[in-house]
Structure 1
Amino acid sequence: MSLQKITDKLITLIAVGMCVFQLYTAFYMPFPGMQQRSIHLACGLALAFLVYPKKRPENPSLRNMSYLFGIALAVLTFITCLNVTFNWLEMNEPMRLIQPTQSDKVLGFLLILLVLLGTVRVVGWAMPIIGLVFLGYAYFGSKIPFALLRHAGVKLSKLISMGYMTTEGIFSSVLGVSTTQVFIFLMFGQLLESLGGSDFFLDWANSGFGKFRGGPAKVAIFGSALFGSISGSAVANVVGTGTITIPLMKRVGYKGDFAGAVESVASTGGLIMPPVMGAAAFIMADTLGVSYWEVCKAAVIPAVMYYLALYTSVDLKAKQSNLKGLPAAEVPDGMALLKSQGWMYIPPLVILVFFLGVFRYPAYKACLYCCILLVVLASFKREKRGVLKREWLNILVKTAKSSVTVVMACSCAGVILLGLQSSGLILKLSNILISLANNNLGILLFLVMLGSLIMGMGLPASACYAILCILAAPAIVKLGVPPLAAHLFVLYFGSMSAITPPVAMAAFAAAPIAGESAVKIGITAFKMAMPSFLIAFCLAIQPELVMIGSAVNIVLVVVICLAGVLSMSVGLQGYLFQNESIIRRIAWVAGGVLLILPQKPLTIMGIVIALALVITEKNFWKYVKVKRRT
């Protein structure tokens, strides 16, 4: 048997074992934290070495060496992790933590190296380099030339014991989120996709919006919002829905770069759209010590505003270019679709929201019941029964493979946390950032935005958030921003890196489908998403957007901020009832920015500018007369 086949067999065996273990701990009493996390990491890290790199060397000898090296690293992973699984109680004894054994030191050092190497393979170099920098800072602390950053230094044995033998390092609560919460949601997403859920949501969006002007772009927005909330990945969303929506957009008259940009921006928004929101939302809930439902509630208004801003841009572009919708023959019947398929896909999502919001079930329990409900409902349809029988093994393997990115991001975040906590830098970092910003919230938010966008260029959104929720969010909170708003701000810009040049991974995924340059799509997407950047700043300076405050204040702030975002959309698109001049476009954008500022005089000034611009539109009164007649 070739090494490739042995590797494939091992991948299947570990993936199925991982899924069985996760389901067992979700159904029954979970294992103690260290045990459960060590088994989860053993499977996830081993898969990282066996599955990645996806592109192997063409030379047969080098290819075999690559497979052999991966198998050897997977074996080492199981040795280091299962040592924790079986000896965690002894490891937690105070004397052993102070004086770890030689085997503890060797295995701990090996696991830290394996985590860093696995993260390089799966996520890239950015996160491991940050981890090494903070570990180096902890170890060489006494040699730091700057008094503010200098500390006594941490012994290597203490770093290893903290990182390997406690929950303050690799096995931190961040990895615990991946272990208990994220995995079951990934399984739900894979089940839904394998049973045709993504096609249903796309068809359903088409039935509602396909017939309107620029219909396919609106289908992309709502289809991607529904699918992206489940998939939790901007790139996967672009590939999943963009293959259908981008060609349709081009067919009705949108240019390739605009079509690719719409899909990229819509797909990226799925990461901040409840009810799932990807792995980052679970990390956020754990970090803040709130329920997952609270995170979802806080994210609803900003997510809706994000998609309304995108919808406005798309609609104005369609109106400006005089584009039509899809022919009636190509638009599915919404009611027929609900009757034939909706009964299978919608109830699990409704039940998920109900269990989270009303019964306040733990997120993983609620999602587990939704998985069961989806399988039961699918069993009533012969075609879907066949899919379950044929694809059950693939579903399990795909679920485990899709979890690898999250496992590596969370375990490497533990390494970063180890460096920060052991050195005491975590206590100083907020003050350092605040002093850099000169105690100015606006400057601090701008610095964090830049940091989030730069870091997000080389990392998935969950990995980017896992770092920034430790490094940046506490500083924002210290300047008076509510914790939920501060963390959503960080998540927002970590996600936006998917459409921010020069990397813009979502744009690169859309480029071959749209037949356009990825750079061109990225620039168009960035311009299209600029009103959404405004929403993120609204979060931090207007806490009502995360449902903090009285109902009256929340409604008032939402209406004003939405007006500001839409005003900015008009300015950037350069069209409302007519093509706008440069001066008017600048005024639209300026009015939008003023509208979101919390100072009343500036808000009033923004309202005046926006109203003046609407009233002085040449075609505005003509439009009003037509509407009165109809």
Structure 2
Amino acid sequence: MSMMSDDTASTAWSRFDQRIEPALAVVVTLLVIFWASGLPLFMGIRVYAEQVLVAILSFASAICFLTRDFRGNKLEGRSVIVMDRLLAWAAISFGCFLAWRYPIISDEIFYRPAEALTIAIIGLIIVLEALRRAIGYSLLVVLALVCLYALFADQFTGPLQSRAIPLQRLVTFMVLDSAGMAGIALFIGATIVLPFILFSRLLLSTGGSEFFSDLSAALMGRSRGGSAKIAIVASGFFGSISGSAVSNVASTGSITIPLMKDGGYQPKTAGAIEAAASTGGQLMPPIMGASAFLLAETLQVPYREVVTAAILPALLYYLSLFVFADLEAGRVGIAPVDKSKIPSLLGTLRKGWFLLAPFGLLVVALFEYNQPPETAALIAFAFLALVSLFIMYGGGRAGWRLFMGVITQTGRASVEIALICAVAGMIIGLFSLSGLSFGLGFFLVQLGKTSVLLLLATTAVVCIILGMGMPTVGVYLLLATLAAPPLIELGIEPMAAHLFVLYFGMMSMITPPVAIAAFVAGNMAGAHPMQTGFEAVRVAWPAYFVPFIFALSPGLLMAGGWADNLMAGLGTTGGVYLATIGLVGFFVRPLALWQRLLFAVAGLSLMMPAQLFDGVNIINIVGLMVGLTLLVIEKLSVKTAKSELKSTF
């Protein structure tokens, strides 16, 4: 009898868990919409932003405890253990209590130190444990190191010496200060990034994935290496709106990787192209995985300035992917996609036009009417939701189940974003409070006085290391505080400095030894993950060089005169093309090693920015002449071979 009652109670709790988790996800999304839409102001309700942010973070933590076990693995049908259920309810209770008490605590924190410390300790345990389960230890290690520095800063010497922060002050600052857990990082993640995730989830649920895959096939399928070019277009587009290279690889890669393998690409190359295209989507305007809005918010510049600056480097990145895919197809002998598998372009547009319209609305709202990013995202979402009531790509109409599914998926997607942004906010706040930002900045500035190139190279390595395993939002917010200020202090344009750290932070996704996006793609392709990672570096090689160019040459970011912009764009484009030929080892025919070296050297010479040192213009001209000569020789040699073959027969 006792065993039966225990089983009944366990079943009842399991059913309750299955209902409370999606309910929490819905509440999180509704809170995001409530704040991002400006409803509190419209309704005359006085609400602190921190109250909403704390509630979102706490509910996201509860979702994490109800969906992941102690090791961080998803439950996937397994029951929630009692300890995790208690943690989830503790997170919910903490969020509700702090949201209710926040106005009082924030005003009287110095008069209620015991209450503040107790709340802070509870909140810290909940958030850090949820973060550990969600993404592992990477960000926790960074936080621990910063905390150790803050506690013992007076023991250091030189520029790193600062005042030590008492432990009680440290803990309460991280959780309760407006520059800590519920600071600008979480505000941006919750109120700007999540509305775009809501829009992207609806886009996918109404047939967006199939539409853009069909559109990519219709545009690229008939060209050489069409299967890879389809993957580049489709993955690049979804990478831009998803904000996560890994999730994008997992979703679009299930279609594009088999397509490339069937077309003749090696498994490691197919995985590498997918990983590179998905990662690059977060560098492509107008959305850039929401980092465009983070850049604008951080630099306090209009959104259009970010788009203008980022467009040319992003186009160069994707041009290099197209050139690589085309030349690799020529080298291996890969034919275009079978015509029977290529949909009609007009037919695809006729069936899916309504999936393009929200992007037009998004751009108009941002550029013409200067709407905040979150408002523009909600406008695009509302339009697509209305249209989907009558039509969806592939047939059918949207109903309340689809909309509830989208809202629930968005709430679940908030878990990693909210937790990463909260802890990133703690780290950013401690950088300022402890003086570490000044100490590290001073060290990097002194390094830069020796050599700006050395500073850039050091910063690039730091960005790749710190970016390992984190999505776009966390990577950028952390690096914008740590790595960008020293570059700016040494005279590099603020936009160039922030794009530089963003590029190298994102390249951690495909750079071994922790190339998460490449490893996921490699597993899906049936290739060795590490080999796929190194192949991804080979595919996306310009992303490791172009940031150095635009850091030194403002023309590549459209920040110079028209002549500078034109020369920087043409020189870098030509250099990328020539160097990619040398890297692949094919132009119109396979190339010998010495020819490949000449192409690579000519390309890199042509790419060198004029600001690098005196006399670079001469090197540019020599590189251009050598490159053109090589191209002409190769073209003529193939024509001569063809004419000799004809005369023989």
Distance 1:129 1:188 in 2: 33
Q: What residue number does 1:582 align with?
A: 593
Contact 1:499 1:525 survives alignment (8 Å): yes
Structure 1 residue runs of 4 or more that deviate by more than 6 Å after TM superposition: 623-627
Distance 1:532 1:421, change over 3 A: closer
Given the alignment, which residue of 7, 19, 33 partners 1:9? 19
Distance 1:379 1:3 in 2: 36
Q: What is the CA-CA distance between 1:165 and the residue it aligns to?
A: 2.8
Distance 2:475 2:136 in 1: 12
Q: Secondary structure at the match of 1:338?
A: helix
Please list every run of 5 or more consecutive structure 1 residues that lacks an aligned counterpart in the other structure. Answer: none
Q: What is the CA-CA distance between 1:385 and the residue it aligns to?
A: 5.6
Given the alignment, which residue of 558, 575, 578 partners 2:569? 558
Q: What is the CA-CA distance between 1:89 and the residue it aligns to?
A: 2.5
CA RMSD of aligned residues (A): 2.4
Deviates more, 1:36-45 or 1:191-200: 36-45
Given the alignment, which residue of 149, 167, 175 partners 1:164? 175
Contact 2:599 2:627 survives alignment (8 Å): yes
Correspondence 1:49 to 2:65: yes
Deviates more, 1:209-218 or 1:28-37: 28-37
Per-residue CA distance 1:540-582 (angstroms, 9 max, x = gap)? 1122222212233212211111112222211211222332332
Given the alignment, which residue of 7, 10, 19 partners 2:29? 19
Per-residue CA distance 1:49-106 (angstroms, 9 max, x = gap)? 2222463689x9xx76x6322222222223333333223332333xx34344311111
Given the alignment, which residue of 233, 236, 240 partners 1:225? 236
Distance 2:475 2:165 in 1: 26
Distance 1:264 1:6 in 2: 39
Q: For 1:273-312, what aligned pairs fall within 5 Å after superposition?
A: 273-312=284-323
Q: What residue number does 2:356 align with?
A: 346
Q: What residue number does 1:496 align with?
A: 507
Q: For 1:80-95, what aligned pairs fall within 5 Å after superposition?
A: 80-93=94-107
Distance 2:356 2:407 in 1: 22
Tell me the amino acid that sits aligned with residue 360 of structure 1. Answer: N
Contact 1:242 1:513 survives alignment (8 Å): yes
Contact 2:602 2:626 survives alignment (8 Å): no
Correspondence 1:545 to 2:556: yes
Q: What residue number does 1:392 align with?
A: 403
Deviates more, 1:150-159 or 1:475-484: 150-159
Distance 2:126 2:65 in 1: 9
Distance 1:468 1:186 in 2: 22
Q: Secondary structure at the match of 1:55?
A: coil
Per the normalisation by structure 1, the TM-score is 0.93
Tell me the amino acid that sits aligned with residue 416 of structure 1. Answer: I
Q: What is the CA-CA distance between 1:361 and the residue it aligns to?
A: 0.7
Given the alignment, which residue of 442, 449, 470 partners 1:459? 470
Distance 1:624 1:277, change over 3 A: farther
Contact 2:180 2:426 survives alignment (8 Å): yes
Distance 1:68 1:414 in 2: 31
Per-residue CA distance 1:518-543 (angstroms, 9 max, x = gap)? 12211111111112211121221122
Given the alignment, which residue of 604, 617, 620 partners 1:593? 604
Distance 1:616 1:277 in 2: 37
Distance 1:291 1:4, change over 3 A: farther
Tell me the amino acid that sits aligned with residue 44 of structure 1. Answer: A
Given the alignment, which residue of 317, 331, 335 partners 1:324? 335
Q: What is the CA-CA distance between 1:186 and the residue it aligns to?
A: 0.6
Contact 1:84 1:165 survives alignment (8 Å): no
Correspondence 1:483 to 2:494: yes
Q: What is the CA-CA distance between 1:243 and the residue it aligns to?
A: 1.9
Deviates more, 1:544-553 or 1:176-185: 544-553
Distance 1:479 1:355 in 2: 36
Distance 1:589 1:29 in 2: 58
Q: Secondary structure at the match of 2:540?
A: helix
Distance 1:3 1:278, change over 3 A: farther
Distance 2:332 2:412 in 1: 43
Q: Secondary structure at the match of 1:22?
A: helix
Distance 1:164 1:322, change over 3 A: closer
Correspondence 1:523 to 2:534: yes
Distance 1:517 1:107 in 2: 47
Tell me the percent identity: 31
Correspondence 1:368 to 2:378: yes
Distance 1:384 1:107 in 2: 52
Q: Secondary structure at the match of 2:288?
A: coil
Distance 1:381 1:361, change over 3 A: same
Per-residue CA distance 1:111-156 (angstroms, 9 max, x = gap)? 12322222111122011111121122112222x2424322221122
Per the normalisation by structure 2, the TM-score is 0.90
Tell me the amino acid that sits aligned with residue 614 of structure 1. Answer: L
Q: What is the CA-CA distance between 1:622 and the residue it aligns to?
A: 5.5
